[in-house]
Amino acid sequence: MTADPKSVEDAAVLLRAGQLCAFPTETVYGLGADATNADAVLSIYETKGRPRFNPLIIHCADLAMAETLAEFSPLARLLATLWPGPLTLVLPARPGNGLVDVATAGLDSVGIRIPDHPLALALLAKVGRPLAAPSANPSGKLSPTTAEQVRLGFAGAVPVLDGGPCQAGVESTIIRVEGDRLVQLRAGALARSEIERRLGVTVELAEQGEAITAPGMLASHYAPRALLRLNAEPRAGEAFLAFGPAPAFAGPMHNLSPSGDLHEAARNLFSMLHALDALGKAMIAVAPIPDTGLGEAINDRLQRAAAPRG
Ligand code: AMP
Ligand code: MG
């Protein structure tokens, strides 16, 4: 049993130290982690048992914090007048915003919101850093709306800041701002019609396949330019993404984790894939990676990257 934080201050200390802490929002309880700390964000995947790296919603204390993370067009600013609230905006990421790529799944966009809950807002302000916070439940289970459900879900292993029951019990609405278009990627606690009525805008529905319920499905977001050969030994002319003790190879190589540590490998995955892809080789060979723990999410990501594209 992990001791629960008694106060917002206690919870902020945990989060600043790179630990997880669940906290209430107006939608559901979130499993919070410092979104600028790769190890902290990876703990979210490990704790939830998530088999796939998807972009996590980044929670901000205020608009000033949000503006350090993303580019706000005038239209985005208009949508942001609905904050705090159960509305996530997907916006172009600001380069050098400090978010780790395991939090944004390596995308150059970021999903942000300011939650409408006094404890969440006080906590975000105390932490002073953006928090990644998917629902605080094991992957595939129902989203928790009470602290007790969070404790039960993780068998007491995750500290919870108790703020009583959540109001909405439904996830946030997700809207992507694309130039002068607004596209709803996920329906949620704030109705599309309500957004249209309050702001005098039109919100389109995402086309089939465009809505990202499992955003890893969007091959175009994930595909490197090079082709990938998985479970492979490198050949001459290729780049090599190694894992564990690497074979002798004269070509360009990065090792996800020389010691075979899956957590370290997950931390390095996006940046090393990018770095190898930037070399312009036609093929990247990738060493076998065990399919246990974080290895499942790593392999899912690699399989998507290796999939044939049209
Ligand atoms: P959650 O698990 O509650 O953190 O919700 C994460 C969801 O937010 C993802 O599954 C996506 O649907 C969506 N999302 C977050 N960031 C982005 C992004 N940059 N682009 C598209 N969708 C995003
Ligand atoms: Mg969830």
- How close is the Cα of 62 to the center of ligand 2, in Å? 23
Closest protein CA for atom 22 of ligand 1: 212
> pTM for this structure?
0.89
Running along the chain, 310 residues long, what does each successive block of 10 average in pLDDT? 91 98 97 98 96 94 98 98 97 97 93 98 98 95 92 96 88 94 92 95 84 47 82 96 94 97 93 92 97 91 78
* Pair of tokens at residue 143: 């989203």
Give the CATH class of 227-306: alpha beta
- Position 1 scores a pLDDT of 66
Ligand 1 atom closest to Cα of residue 135: 3
Ligand 2 centre from 137 Cα, in Å? 7
Pocket test for ligand 1, best of 44, 56, 107, 222 (most atoms within 8 A of CB): 56
Tell me which residues have their CB closer than 6 angstroms to ligand 1.
54-57, 90, 107, 109-111, 134-135, 171, 174, 185-186, 212, 215
Superfamily for domain range 8-72+81-171: DHBP synthase (3.90.870.10)
The pLDDT assigned to 215 comes to 46
Q: Please give the pLDDT value at position 220.
A: 45
Q: Is 222 left (phi over 0), alpha (psi -120 to 50) or beta?
A: alpha
131, 104, 111: which is closest to 119 by C-alpha? 131
Q: Is 123 exposed, middle or buried (0-12, 13-18, 19+ CB in 10 A)?
A: buried
**CATH 3.40.50.11030 domain residues, the chain:** 227-306
Residue ranges matching CATH 3.90.870.10 in the chain:
8-72+81-171
Query: How many CA atoms within 13 Å lie on the side-chain side of 76?
Result: 22
Q: How far is the CA of 56 from the centre of ligand 1 (A)?
A: 5
For helices 118-127 and 8-16, angle between their N-to-C axes, nearest 10 degrees:
40
pLDDT at 102: 95
Instruction: Give the pLDDT score at 169.
Output: 76
Report cis status (omega within 30 of 0) of the bond before 74.
Answer: no
